[in-house]
Amino acid sequence: MTAGVLGPTAHQDSPTARVAAAYRRIAEVDRPEVWITLRPEHETAADAAEVERRLAAGETLPLAGQLVAVKDNIDVAGLPTTAACPEFAYPATATAAAVARLQTAGAIVLGKTNLDQFATGLVGTRSPYGAVRHADHPELISGGSSSGSAVAVALGLADIGVGTDTAGSGRVPAALHGIVGIKATLGIIPAHGLVPACADYDAVTVFAPDLDRAVAAAAVMAGPDAGDPRSRTWPANVRLAAPRTPRVAVPHAADLAALSGDYRDAFARTVAAVTDSGIETIELDISPLLDAARLLYDGAIVAERYAAVGEFLATDPAGADPTVAAIIGAAGSTTGPAFAADLDALTRARADAALLLDCDALLLPTTTEHPSIAAVQADPIGINRRMGTYTNFCNLLDMAAVAVPGAPTAAGAPFGVMVVTPAFGDQVAIDIAARVAGLEQAPLLVHDGVELAVFGAHLRGQPLHWQLERIGARFAGEIRTSDAYRLTALDTVPAKPGLVRHGAGLGEPILGELFTVSRAGLGGFLAELPPPMALTSIELADGRSVVGFACTYDAALTATDITEFGGWKAYLNAAN
């Protein structure tokens, strides 16, 4: 990735200074094909001044001064939306929900970026506004369809690139540039204000130089929106963390045949590094997933692209890309029975995938190769088809994916991998992607849990901790109770303590651990809790009250008091 002025050092600069630096950088790199509409500097400077005013007024703006490049099939009020076709352009009167949320959080939109026309392609060359060249190697493709947004981030022009992903467009450009791409579960980031490609399988996505910034943006963008009937919220049983030792499936050798030699070698080294980091890896036959991927373009589901813009392209606009027009035009002959048959095949494929994925996540190469612009011009269909080998099935099968850099090729070129999970496994994917990227701590996308305090057999390293991992609980730190509690050793199997409140000053602070669990997970604990255990409000030493494990008073009366040890693990260590 090319280093730009908007790197970690500049991250803390004032919004006004960051806007000025961005326009200097835009002039310096001289990449006009990245933008379809670049806002005048005085407009973005005015936005920066407004962000500074809001900060001075005491507002909390998590993305204050972050600069955003928006793919030009997503509406931004006051700017035209072209979808990379001049004749299709219309003035947007409202801003897409996801982008508006970024602005509310203090981000500033620089402009609208180039793309494969009507978001149809993975190469970044299918645009009358010009092929978007790779950030570091202009003779190579940038990847599409969200080419401009990814290159804006890779060149250091923007902190956040907003793209879309139907077949891999939010992931392939990330892989080719060594940046991060997040494609959340379908509907988690609303698509209101998006020119559809395949409305049932479109996702609004995020590019950023690193996982922390990508997740921060995605967290702001996430949440249902009344304007998008397909938008969704996190379910009550959402997993909030990956296990400490996640089990990750990688394709067996036969399913890696599509990779170029240098990419196959880079993937093998990435898997070896992941395994060395303590993640359990298993080989899996993913051919059923690769077969399902063909339904996106080779089956009747491509009719959704015709439903979106087919009638417009049938008017033969002068700016239509020939390859895009041919793909979408051919979809107009799809019959209703064929579409119904493919929907049935897709439903069956989803059921098969659920049975296949007996693991926490898949680790896949993001794409197969990095071709030149000339090669794609010579073979626009074949190369594009190959590049979607590992991405095309994700949205069809309702899966989440996080694209991060893997081990570089032997020549030092970027190589990307994806962590893929079933729907709503986004936080699990982020946690594992953080491990792949070598981060000590993963950023939080999902903030939808309930705090649960544990003091005995559910502590990390204790015999019932697996019950917390099973529901995707997230460790939130060590805690101590107030001095109102006493601890006893109960006569249970497995051995566990009983925490009982006696009153202020009548006990001692007891050491425990705090976890965040899903609402359904907490309900499951309550429903299955064996006597004499109970869930109740626990008062912590810092004054907070959280839900936690305790025991009934009568059970504590006949148990051994171990309060003096200050915690269960200390008692066990002393007993041994």
Do 5 and 17 form a contact (C-beta atoms < 8 A)?
no
22/138 Cα distance (integer angstroms): 21
75/565 Cα distance (integer angstroms): 61
How deeply is 572 buried, as exposed, middle or buried, from its count of CB atoms within 10 A (0-12, 13-18, 19+)? middle
368/49 Cα distance (integer angstroms): 44
151: closest CA among 126, 181, 128, 121? Answer: 181
Cβ within 8 Å of residue 83, ≥6 positions away: 72, 73, 115, 117, 118, 119, 195, 309
User: How many CB atoms sit inside 10 A of residue 366's CB?
Assistant: 28
Cβ within 8 Å of residue 513, ≥6 positions away: 453, 454, 455, 458, 459, 460, 475, 477, 478, 479
Amino acid at 474: R
DSSP alpha helices (H): ranges in 483-529? 519-528
Peptide bond into 231 cis (omega under 30): no
556: closest CA among 508, 507, 499? Answer: 499
34: closest CA among 88, 93, 86, 84? Answer: 84
In angstroms, what CA-CA distances link 384 with 260, 451, 467?
A: 14, 46, 44
Task: Please state at what angle helix 426-436 crosses helix 261-276, rounded to 10 degrees.
Answer: 100
Which helix (H) or strand (E) is 301 found in, with range? none
By DSSP bridging, strand 280-284 and strand 450-454 are unpaired
114: closest CA among 82, 91, 87, 137? Answer: 82
228/232 Cα distance (integer angstroms): 9
179/173 Cα distance (integer angstroms): 8
84/72 Cα distance (integer angstroms): 7
Do 182 and 214 form a contact (C-beta atoms < 8 A)?
yes
Q: Which residues are catalytic?
A: 71, 145, 169
User: How many CB atoms sit inside 10 A of residue 440's CB?
Assistant: 6
